[in-house]
A and B are shown apart, each in its own frame.
Chain A
């Protein structure tokens, strides 16, 4: 089962190296990892989606990550009410005669067209992973040139912040 972890770390050099090094050394099965700024300039927030067969495995991932000196706090977003999003940019083949078909698909998915040229279009979609997977699947028929995805980011619902009490 996939679990989404919000990992709050010190905004210091080499922190990501420590995290990725640990993940590879302990042979953890990581689905995605997304890092960026948080509300506190001293804290970087990393969202890690990890695949674990059981709770012991998940405990290992959390406990080993928590042992890193620069990791301040870890919140399991899967165990709280949360919103998650993934951003994808998809470059798809779009000859003039097929553009309208693609525009229809884009509308259905509430995606955006952010670039067009004679041969291709770039489509932007923000949403849950499944939705993006579904769009990619449909666009396959038109010929996907390339895809970039941000990896999942997640935030809890309600008034509380992950950085509470640190």
Chain B
């Protein structure tokens, strides 16, 4: 029997094991929505296509499965762009489906036409415009393959309206034939041996772990290596939770707002083992003074990351999990030396700290309480972007991979709330928090209707300080306190939550924090927690932009 393109799309998604799509209908995807009417795919109707893209991204990060989002042509498609760029920067597997005007209308400035493959070229791993329905199933097969293998990333498929209506025979291909794409890379034995030798000779090793550990499911191998060679482990924002932060070898996050001891350790080490990380400028500070005494081993699947930002001495090109496992076989156990003592001393002398006594309610305290109350359960901690994000990274004790969901590379305000919806859809039993600021939450606040409609008990903890806090902090520190357009008003979040059919709780004092969090976690509704916090609290430590990692303010 011949199927329409739309039916082929649905059958192909089912063949890929997709259970959930985040989307928003429109004229260009009417055929697809008609096919969805008859299938068992769970469709989550967001309130904005950007929300759909971020929700699919949050779903992917929380579950490890590719996220799928669907939007109509023109504005529907362009609204996905930020979500795609966000997923691209953080290497998140996503398949975005967009409607397009019919093929004979393409290029005519037709109603709701946008050149979405052209627009998304630099923010997707690959994209397709399907011009023949016979190609559709192959393209979908390839898209999922490309999105989920090698260094993962988003792939977009643009489907003109006549293609989704045209009938053809359907057979889902079993294999992919892409001769220009070979994602299964195993490191050469010689490189593994070189890395093992460097480790054997190192006096002061540090492991710098990135999001690749999570993408490659390599937490166990990372822990084995770290414990074997007694190397302290610092993680990037993308890698929070890939190494348990309550482990004695954990250094927490490094970089601009990393812990002082992580930054000192990296600056003082003689061997830096970078695994699945990409030496982002927020991590390295001034590259000229980054890990100045260290030999650098870079273990990564993407050859283009090797030597892109910093010099690398030993390039181990291959899957992170495989490389780490083979490295563990090659290295012998190391004994504790004065290096471990030195790190212990740094940890003792320069702990993360904030002043609880003076000023109003401290956001750091709120995050510590969230950490404490969720430590024994499956928790997904999403964030927006800004000060609250950094405090979440600093003061929540992450112990599980995929428990921290945050926009790292692109730094997208408005990411956290829809991603928390995606995380909750993907992990219905998890306790989900979106740690937000009063600025960021207003960027995709419309998704509260989605959370209410689908009865998703997401907890939104708003660190409400009346400012765009991170920008204010920079204006305070680097622009002589000339606060320009950083004071931001907000609606009454409690009333707003109630108006949407959610719950709202306002918290103004430390003593109310724990009961409010318990109440929110017990509720079956989405809850907005409006924490009225100290207005001009700063995130410390801080490496000034372009500065050296070991020259921190407030370290």
Contacts and interface: CB of A to CB of B under 8 A. Distances in A.
- The answer on A and B forming one complex is yes
B180 A68 contact: yes
Contacts of B180: 9-10, 68-73
A31 to B, nearest CB: 21
Contact of A63 (B122, B129, B131, B303): B303
A14 interface: yes
Interface stretch (A17-25, A89-97, A107-115, A145-153): A17-25
Contacts of A22: 122
B15 interface: no
A14 B306 CA distance: 28
Given A67-B302, A68-B180, A59 B307 contact: yes
Contacts of A72: 179-180
B301 to A, nearest CB: 11
A67 B125 CA distance: 9
Given A69-B181, A71-B180, A72-B180, A14 B129 contact: yes
A159 to B, nearest CB: 23
Nearest to B181: A69
Interface in A1-47: 9-10, 13-14, 17-18, 21-22, 25
B302 A14 contact: no
Interface string B107-122: 0000000000110011
Contacts of B326: none
A21 B129 contact: no
A17 B304 contact: no
B249 interface: no
B181 A64 contact: no
A134 interface: no
Contacts of B308: 60
A102 interface: no
Contacts of A66: 303-304
A4 B179 CA distance: 23
Interface string A58-91: 0110011011111111000000000000000000
B126 A166 contact: no
A158 to B, nearest CB: 24
A64 B122 CA distance: 12
B121 A21 contact: yes
Interface residues of B, number: 19
B32 interface: no
B178 interface: yes
Contacts of A60: 304, 307-308
Contact of B121 (A18, A59, A70): A18
A56 interface: yes
B146 interface: yes
A18 B121 CA distance: 7
B179 A69 contact: no
A14 B117 contact: yes
Contacts of B121: 17-18, 21
Nearest to B151: A67
A9 B179 CA distance: 10
Contacts of B179: 10, 72, 166
Given A69-B180, A69-B181, A71-B180, A63 B304 contact: yes
Contacts of A18: 121
A93 to B, nearest CB: 40
Given A9-B180, A25-B122, A69-B125, A64 B304 contact: yes
A17 to B, nearest CB: 7
A166 B17 CA distance: 32
B307 A69 contact: no
A166 B249 CA distance: 46
A9 to B, nearest CB: 7
Contacts of A70: 180
Interface string B170-205: 000000001111000000000000000000000000
Nearest to B150: A67
Given A14-B117, A21-B122, A56-B307, A69 B302 contact: no
Interface of B: 117-118, 121-122, 125-126, 129, 131, 146, 178-181, 302-304, 306-308
30 contacts: A9-B180, A10-B180, A13-B129, A13-B131, A14-B117, A14-B129, A17-B118, A18-B121, A21-B121, A21-B122, A25-B122, A56-B307, A59-B306, A59-B307, A60-B304, A60-B307, A63-B302, A63-B303, A63-B304, A64-B304, A66-B304, A68-B126, A68-B180, A69-B125, A69-B178, A69-B180, A71-B180, A72-B180, A73-B180, A166-B179
The 4 closest A-B pairs by CB, nearest first: A63-B304, A72-B180, A69-B126, A21-B121
Interface of A: 9-10, 13-14, 17-18, 21-22, 25, 56, 59-60, 63-64, 66-73, 166
Given A13-B131, A68-B180, 11 more contacts: A10-B179, A21-B121, A60-B308, A63-B304, A63-B306, A66-B304, A69-B126, A69-B146, A69-B181, A73-B180, A166-B179
